Amino acid sequence: MPWRETVCDESKADQDLRMELQELLGLDPAAPVRPAVEATAATVELADELRREALRRRHTPVLKTRRVWPMLLAAGLPVALALGGMATWGTLQKRKADALAADIRAKEAEVQRLAKVSAEAAAQAQQATQALVRVKSGTKGGQKARELVLPMEGSASRTPLDTQTVSNPNR
Amino acid sequence: MQAPDTTTTPFGDVADFHQAFADLYPRLVAYARRYGATFPEDIAQEAFVILMQREEPVDHPAAFLYGTVRTLSLTERRPMKNQNLSLEAVIEPGGAPEAEDLLLSREIRERMRTLSPTFREALWLFVVEGLSIREIGEILGIPEATVKTRIHRAKAQLREQLNNSGGAHALA
């Protein structure tokens, strides 16, 4: 199949336009602008060499795809390292948060325990005070019952009849 | 291990490929040279290797080759930081006249040189290389309608140029 037959079909209008342009340019529409070239031994050899090169290259992509993986790995390594670093950092942060939460819970429990102990101590102190008050009040009443208390009447006069005048020998 | 030698090529069997290569290789070298490629032979050969290397079949092998040569040529000339491919920004095709010298007379060459690079590119591929509108669209990466527009504008510019210069042979 001549290569010209691989050229897509064109309309009659296009062919007429080409002939018209050839006339405008002063070319002979009947004669081809480019004469056909016969294949020589040199061109055939060059063509075969290029065909072999194309075949060789056609098989090269297999090797190229194998070499792509290390490159992809190398490109993905920083990303993987970054993700790993972030995951480690996140895990550490979570552990810290858990430890802080546990610490806070322990402190709250301690505060509650201390409050409870304080309340108990206050109750005991109050009970002791009440008991002491009861004891004191009970003792005072007993003494009152055992002792004789005489009411003392005050002197009616404040005159110096109750006093005695003495002289001072040193004067 | 010897690689299996496939007998089918994008152009048919091996004999068809040899004939297509003999016919297309000089064209592709000249096409690369038009873009100012430093090593046009290397670029044309690389385009063939890329075409033959493909696992998927190509609908229009010739257009694929031209498109690859164009891309490789422009890439070769472009600094890496500015890969926006454009013919106008890369080279004035008339600056590399070796390929045209072999095919066109001086008068025709001068006539084409007066066209804008965009129109000249489409006109060259359509008239000199004999490619179809669809193939040119694939090569340049533009819609077929845009190719047609460029070719018709090139034709209008040629007509105007001939009218101004009093040319008569083509308008007769």
- Asked if the Cβ–Cβ distance from B60 to A6 is below 8 Å, we say yes
B1 reaches A (C-beta below 8 A): no
Q: Which residues of B touch A54 (CB under 8 A)?
A: 48-53
A53 reaches B (C-beta below 8 A): yes
Reported confidence tier of residue B147, pLDDT bands at 50, 70, 90: very high
Residue B130's pLDDT is 85
B19 reaches A (C-beta below 8 A): yes
A31: Cβ contacts below 8 Å, ≥ 6 apart = none
Averaging pLDDT over each range in A141-145, B70-74, B96-100, which range is the top one?
B70-74
- A27 vs chain B: nearest CA distance in angstroms? 8
Q: Which residues of B touch A34 (CB under 8 A)?
A: 27, 103, 128-130
Q: The tokens 């992809």 sit on which residue?
A: A72
Output Rg (C-alpha) for chain A, integer angstroms: 63
Residue B108 to residues A23, A24, A56, B111, Cα–Cα distance (Å)? 11, 9, 44, 5
B101: Cβ contacts below 8 Å, ≥ 6 apart = B109
User: What's chain A's average pLDDT?
Assistant: 81
pLDDT exceeds cutoff 90 at B99: no
Contact B133, B144 (CB under 8 A): yes
Neighbours of B152 (CB within 10 A): 14
B41: Cβ contacts below 8 Å, ≥ 6 apart = B29
Residue B151's pLDDT is 93
Residue B91's pLDDT is 46
Cα distance from N-terminal residue to C-terminal residue, chain A: 173
Q: Which residues of B touch A19 (CB under 8 A)?
A: none
Q: pLDDT tens digits, residue range A99-136?
A: 999 999 999 999 999 999 999 999 999 999 999 888 88
Interface test with B, best of A4, A5, A6, A12 (most B CBs within 10 A): A6
- Asked if the Cβ–Cβ distance from A46 to B51 is below 8 Å, we say no
B3 reaches A (C-beta below 8 A): yes
Contact A78, B77 (CB under 8 A): no
- Separation of alpha carbons B104 and B108, rounded Å: 6
Q: Which residues of A touch B151 (CB under 8 A)?
A: 17, 21
Residue B171's pLDDT is 42
Compute the average pLDDT of residues A11-32.
83
SS (H, E, C) chain B: CCCCCCCCECCECHHHHHHHHHHHHHHHHHHHHHCCCCCHHHHHHHHHHHHHHCCCCCCCHHHHHHHHHHHHHHHHHCCCCCCCCCHHHHCCHHHCCHHHHHHCCHHHHHHHHCCCHHHHHHHHHHHHCCCCHHHHHHHHCCCHHHHHHHHHHHHHHHHHHHHHHCCCCCCC
- Asked if the Cβ–Cβ distance from A8 to B59 is below 8 Å, we say yes
- Asked if the Cβ–Cβ distance from A33 to B112 is below 8 Å, we say no
Residue A139's pLDDT is 60
Residue B1's pLDDT is 47
More confident call, B71 vs A168: B71
Q: Render A120-156 in DSSP notation, one character per residue.
A: HHHHHHHHHHHHHHHHHHHHHHHHHHHS--PPPPPPS
Residue B78's pLDDT is 61
Residue B2's pLDDT is 47
Compute the average pLDDT of residues B88-105.
52
- Complex confidence, ipTM: 0.74
Compute the average pLDDT of residues A143-169.
63
Contact B149, B122 (CB under 8 A): no
pTM of this prediction?
Answer: 0.59
Q: The tokens 């038009």 sit on which residue?
A: B34
Residue B71's pLDDT is 92
Compute the average pLDDT of residues B38-43.
90
pLDDT exceeds cutoff 70 at B120: yes
Reported confidence tier of residue A162, pLDDT bands at 50, 70, 90: low
Residue B112's pLDDT is 81
Contact B19, A2 (CB under 8 A): yes
pLDDT exceeds cutoff 70 at A165: no
Q: Which residue of B has its CA nearest to A49?
A: B49
Reported confidence tier of residue A8, pLDDT bands at 50, 70, 90: low
> Taking a contact as any Cβ pair under 8 Å apart, which residues of chain B between 110 and 129 contact chain A?
111-112, 123, 126-129
Compute the average pLDDT of residues B68-72.
93
Q: Which residue of A has its CA nearest to B64?
A: A7
